[in-house]
Chain A
Amino acid sequence: ETGVTQTPRHLVMGMTNKKSLKCEQHLGHNAMYWYKQSAKKPLELMFVYSLEERVENNSVPSRFSPECPNSSHLFLHLHTLQPEDSALYLCASSQGLAGNQETQYFGPGTRLLVL
């Protein structure tokens, strides 16, 4: 138990569906992250929020839309996804922005399958 929870743990959706992934951290951290992990690729950073403001969007397609309503919650809204978007989506949090002596705490991930 890392203090970061993600729901749902598994999701199957069609290409025309709209769904949302939810992440919640109970650590009092100020930064939150979305990562994508595919079978044959390294962890890809998608979005970074610091104090509820988006810090980075790593050229992620617009069919992925993040939302950070407060420092404890992070959402990833999904619409018109493609089969190649099937992956493990991981949420993480850190006290400050990771990289400079800040470590990240990861949730268990949501396994997404797009049919």
Chain B
Amino acid sequence: LAKTTQPISMDSYEGQEVNITCSHNNIATNDYITWYQQFPSQGPRFIIQGYKTKVTNEVASLFIPADRKSSTLSLPRVSLSDTAVYYCLVGSLNSGAGSYQLTFGKGTKLSVIP
């Protein structure tokens, strides 16, 4: 079971780049790493997903080292509207054991300060 660990909270000023790291030491070979954003009283929303190296989309970048035991979500030039909780997720379908596991981290509460 790929357990994930993230910092509980982070503060940043507007316009800065924010990097949030997630540890997942037991990640399985076929697991992808997905990051979600959640605002209060809403469901999580997909941000970015990757398997290895670097992935970039219009809102974020995801850096995954070669050993895949951690990943870093990078948010460029954050604004006040980026204040939210960010979750990393790894999951696996262990068809051999007949089990299915999805493990969300406890999330990182990002506060963007004016």
Query: What is the interface of chain A, defined by CB distance below 8 A to chain B?
Result: 2, 4, 33, 41-43, 45, 48, 55-56, 88, 90-92, 97-101, 103-109, 111
A-B contacts, 9 listed (Cβ < 8 Å): A45-B101, A45-B104, A90-B44, A92-B43, A97-B93, A99-B91, A99-B93, A101-B51, A109-B41
A55 pairs with B100, CB closer than 8 A:
yes
A58 to B111: give the CA distance in the assembly, Å. Answer: 32
In the complex where A98-B102, A99-B90, A100-B30 touch, is A105 in contact with B46 (Cβ < 8 A)? yes
Closest to B2 in A: A99
Given pairs A99-B91, A99-B101, A108-B42, 8 additional interface contacts (CB within 8 A): A41-B106, A42-B104, A45-B101, A48-B102, A90-B44, A98-B34, A99-B89, A100-B92
Q: Secondary structure at chain B's binding surface: helix, strand, loop or mixed? A: strand
B residues contacting the other copy or chain, number (CB 8 A) = 27
A99 pairs with B31, CB closer than 8 A:
yes
Query: What is the interface of chain B, defined by CB distance below 8 A to chain A?
Result: 30-32, 34, 36, 41-46, 49, 51, 87, 89-93, 99-102, 104-107
In the complex where A42-B105, A99-B90, A100-B31 touch, is A2 in contact with B45 (Cβ < 8 A)? yes
Q: How far is the CB of A3 from chain B (nearest CB, A)?
A: 11
A97 to B101: give the CA distance in the assembly, Å. Answer: 10
**Chain A neighbourhood of B41, CB < 8 A:** 88, 108-109, 111
In the complex where A42-B105, A42-B106, A103-B34 touch, is A56 in contact with B100 (Cβ < 8 A)? yes
